[in-house]
Amino acid sequence: MASNNNSGSGHDATALPIHISSLTKKYGDLYALDSVDLEIRSGEFLTLLGPSGSGKTTLLMAIAGFNRPDSGSIRFGEQEVILTPPHQRNVGMVFQSYALFPHMSVAGNIAFPLKLRGVSAGEIEERVTEALETVQLSGLGERGIDQLSGGQRQRVALARAFVFGPRILLMDEPLSALDKKLRERMQIELKILHRKLGVTTVYVTHDQREALTMSDRIAVINHGRLAQVDTPEVIYNHPANAFVADFIGESTMLDLDQDKAGNLTYKGSKISKPPSGGNADGWSLVVRPEHLSIMANGKASTDRTIVFKGTVTETVFQGETAFSIVAIDDDTELLVRFGTGSKAKSTYPQSGEQVSVGLGRDDAILIPREDQP
C-alpha cells in the first residue's frame, strides 16, 4: 500500500493525500459537520461509515466541492481547495444513482472527461478501450446506457470516474442499488481495482459489512463528528466508544461496577481490571455474539473464562450459523452465535433451558461508559 504522506512535495504521482482540519458545516442550528479533523493518506481506501444523517455524505460532498463548509480547511496534498470549484478539483466521482448520461453511448460517457480536457481523438479511443478493459466491459463501448444491466452501469460509472487519471476517487454508496450477490462481488472487484489504480479513495457507506470488507481504514462518523478512525480490525475488536461498538457488528453492552480493590465487576462477579491508562467515570463491557459460547453442563469457570448464567429464550437457525437468545436477567439478553457445521438440530439449546454462557477474558472489550449515547 502507498506510504504515508510525509508532508512536502514528494507524494505519489498517482495519488494525493487529503488533509481535513476543523471542517464545520451547519444547516440551520444543526451541525452536519462539527469541527472534523481527518488525515486521508495517499493511496489508501478510506470509508466514511455512519447512519443516515451522520454527515458522511456532507463530508464527501465538501471534498468534491459541491457544498462549501462554513469554516475549516481541505487540502489535496499541499493545495488548499476549499474555494476551488468542483471542475477544477480533478476528482473522480461515482454516485449511488450512477448518473450516467443517457444521451451518450458507453464510450461517449467514458470519453466525456477526456474531451473536456482536450485529449486528441486517437488517445481518447485508446484510453476508453483500456478503461473498458479494466472494468471488464470490452466491446460494449457502442452500447446505449439503457441496454446495460445494473452491474454494467456501475462499471461504466467507475470507468468514467478514473479514465482521466484523477489522484482522488470519491464514491457515494455506489453499490447500494445492486442486489446482494452482485454487491458482494463488486466489493471485491472494487478492492482489486483500487489496488491496481493506487488512487486515494474515499468511500461512503452505511453498510458496516461493506466497510469492513473493503477499507484500509474506516472513519466512523456520527452527528457530524468522527467517532473513531482506524483499521477495520481495530474498529471491530477495539471500539473506542459505545456508538462504534453498537454500530459495528452485533453486541450487547453491560454496565460494570467497580469493587473496593478497583476491579470491574458485573453483578458481583469479577470481570477484569480497568484498562491501563483509561480514565473514565465508569466502564461497560461489550459482548459480541460470536465471542460467546454455551458451556456444556454449566462447567465450572476457569480463570480464562467469564461465565454468565441464564435461560434460553429462543434459538434461530440462519444457515451457516445459528444464534440463541439467552436472558441473563429480567432486562438483559445475550446473543450467542455458534456454527451449525455438522451439529444436529436436536443438540441446539432449547427454549427454557438453563445454560451457562462463557466469554474468553481476551475477548472482553471494555469501553468508557456513557450515560445516554
Partner 1 sequence: MNWWSSPASDTQVTHGDRFWLYVVASIIMLLLVLPTFIVIPMSFSDSQYLEFPPSNWSARWYEVYLGSTKWMRATATSVQVGIITMLVATPLGTMAAYALFVSGHRATRALFLFLITPMIVPVILIAIGVFYAYGRAGLNNTITGLVLAHTAMAIPLVMIVITAALRSYDLNQERVARSLGATRVKAFFLITLPQIRFSVVTAALLSFLTSFDEVIIAIFVSGGVNATLTKHMFSALRDFIDPTIAAISTIMVLVSTVLLLLTQFIGAREK
Q: Which residues bind partner 1 (CB under 8 A)?
A: 64-66, 85-87, 89-93, 95, 97, 99-103, 112-113, 116-117, 157, 160-161, 164, 170
Q: Could you tell me the smallest distance in angstroms from the CB atom of residue 113 to partner 1?
A: 4
- Residue closer to partner 1 (CB basis): 103 or 260: 103
Q: Which three cell numbers stand for residue 46?
A: 478510506
Strand partners, 205: 49
- Residue closer to partner 1 (CB basis): 9 or 120: 120
Q: Could you tell me the smallest distance in angstroms from the CB atom of residue 25 to partner 1?
A: 15
Using an 8 Å Cβ cutoff, are 287 and 360 in contact? Answer: no
Q: Which three cell numbers stand for residue 17?
A: 493525500
Burial (0-12, 13-18, 19+ Cβ within 10 Å), 138: exposed
Q: Which three cell numbers stand for residue 214?
A: 473493503
Q: Phi-psi category of 187—alpha, beta or left, where left has phi over 0 and alpha has psi -120 to 50?
A: alpha
Q: Could you tell me the smallest distance in angstroms from the CB atom of residue 353 to partner 1?
A: 54
- Alpha-carbon distance of 334 to 349, in angstroms, equals 14
Phi then psi for residue 341, to 5 deg, are: 40, -130
Using an 8 Å Cβ cutoff, are 217 and 231 in contact? Answer: yes
- Residue closer to partner 1 (CB basis): 116 or 188: 116
Q: Could you tell me the smallest distance in angstroms from the CB atom of residue 324 to partner 1?
A: 45
Rg value, the chain, Cα: 25
- Residue closer to partner 1 (CB basis): 117 or 270: 117
Q: Could you tell me the smallest distance in angstroms from the CB atom of residue 84 to partner 1?
A: 12
- Residue closer to partner 1 (CB basis): 112 or 348: 112
Q: Could you tell me the smallest distance in angstroms from the CB atom of residue 187 to partner 1?
A: 22
- Residue closer to partner 1 (CB basis): 84 or 213: 84
